[in-house]
Homo-oligomer: A and B are copies of this chain.
Amino acid sequence: MKALVLHHLNEFPSLDENYANPVPEKDELLVKLTYAALNRRDYWITQGQYPNIKLPVIMGSDGCGYIGDRRVLLYPAIGWGSNKRHQADSFQPLGMPKNGTLAEYIAVQPSYVYDAPDYLTDAEAACIGMAGLTAFRALFSRAELRGEDRVLINGVGGGVALMACQLALAAGCEVHVTSGSDEKIDLALKLGAIAGYNYKKENWHKSVIKEGIHFDVIVDSAGGPGFSNLIKIAAPGGRIVTYGGTHGALQNLNTQIIFWRQLSILGSTMGSPTEFKELLHFISKYQIRPIIDRLYHWDTTDQAFEALRDSHQFGKIVFSLQ
C-alpha cells in the first residue's frame, strides 16, 4: 500500500509506495482509508519536539475510511483509560508510536471506530478526530461551557481553535477571536464570531478592557508571556483552558486577580471515548462542518507539511489517500 513514513527527524515524511499492508490482529478491523488530516502534533514529531519518538512510523492521527460499506472515522486517543480527570499512563495518540492514518489501510480495535456523520464528506469527516476531541473536552468538560458564556478563542487559525470557535457558536455563545492575521479574523467573523482582535497590536487586551469586555471562557494554545493578558480579561469565575504552549512557559500571572476573581486555569489534552461520542452527537445535532484549508495528495505531501509548519492555514490540512 501507499503510506507516508517518517524515517528521520528534521525531515518531512516520505511516500513509500510498497509499504506492507497491515495485518489485523485477532479483534482488529481493517479500514480502507480515503482521507486523513494533519495536526500540529505531526509537525512537532518531525522536529523531535515530542517525548518518546520511535521511527520509522506512518504518521497521522485522523482519518475517514470504509470497512466494507460502512463509512467510519477513527477515535485518535489509544489507551485513554476510564478516569474522568486524566488519561491513563498507557495513553498514546494514534500515529506514533502506533502507525497512523497517512496510508491506504490501517488496522484498529473495533472500539476506536465510529460511524461517520451522514451529512459530512469523507474529507470533512477526516478532520474531526483530534481537533474536535481536544476542543470538545477543553470547552465542555474542562471549562463547563454554557450558552450564556462569552468566549474568547485565542489564535483562531489552527484546527483545534477553529473547531472550538464552531462548537462555542453552536452552543449559543458570544464568541470573540484573536489572530495575528486580519484575514483570519475576517473569516472567523463570517463564521459567526462577534469581534476579533489582532494580537500583533501591542496592548490589544487593553482596548478590550477599555470596552468593559470580560470573558467567561478563554481557549489558548500559545502560552508564553501573552498568557498574563488573558488573566486580565477573564471575567469573575472565568475559565482559561490551555491545550498547548507554542510560546513557552507562562510568566507573570497576577495571583491577586486569579484568587479574587476565582479564575480557573485548566490544562487539557484530547479526550475520552465518552467525550468523543458526545462530540459526534453534538456536531451532528448542529450539523457542524469542519473547515478544510486545502486538500493535498500523495504527490504534494511536502507542501502539506510546509503549510503545517508555516501555520498560515485557516482550518484543516487534509490528504486525499485515493
Contacts and interface: CB of A to CB of B under 8 A. Distances in A.
Contacts of A258: 242, 245, 250, 265, 267
Interface of A: 83, 85-87, 142, 223, 228, 236-237, 242-245, 248-269
A155 to B, nearest CB: 14
A245 B256 contact: yes
Contacts of A269: 259-260, 262
B252 A251 contact: yes
A251 B257 CA distance: 15
A242 B259 contact: yes
A171 to B, nearest CB: 18
Contacts of A248: 255
A87 to B, nearest CB: 7
20 contacts: A83-B237, A87-B236, A142-B262, A228-B249, A244-B255, A245-B256, A249-B252, A250-B252, A251-B252, A251-B253, A253-B253, A258-B267, A259-B268, A261-B267, A262-B268, A263-B266, A263-B267, A264-B265, A264-B267, A265-B265
A228 B252 CA distance: 11
Contacts of A261: 86, 267
B264 A264 contact: yes
A250 B245 contact: no
A257 to B, nearest CB: 8
Contacts of A262: 85-87, 142, 267-269
B255 A223 contact: yes
Choose among A249, A257, A259 the residue with the greatest number of B CB atoms under 10 Å from its CB. Answer: A259
Given A264-B265, A265-B265, A267-B264, A250 B259 contact: no
Contacts of A252: 249-251
Determine which residue in A142, A250, A255, A257 has the highest number of CB atoms from chain B within 10 A of its CB, and name it. A255
A197 to B, nearest CB: 21
Contact of A85 (B83, B223, B237, B242): B237
A249 to B, nearest CB: 5
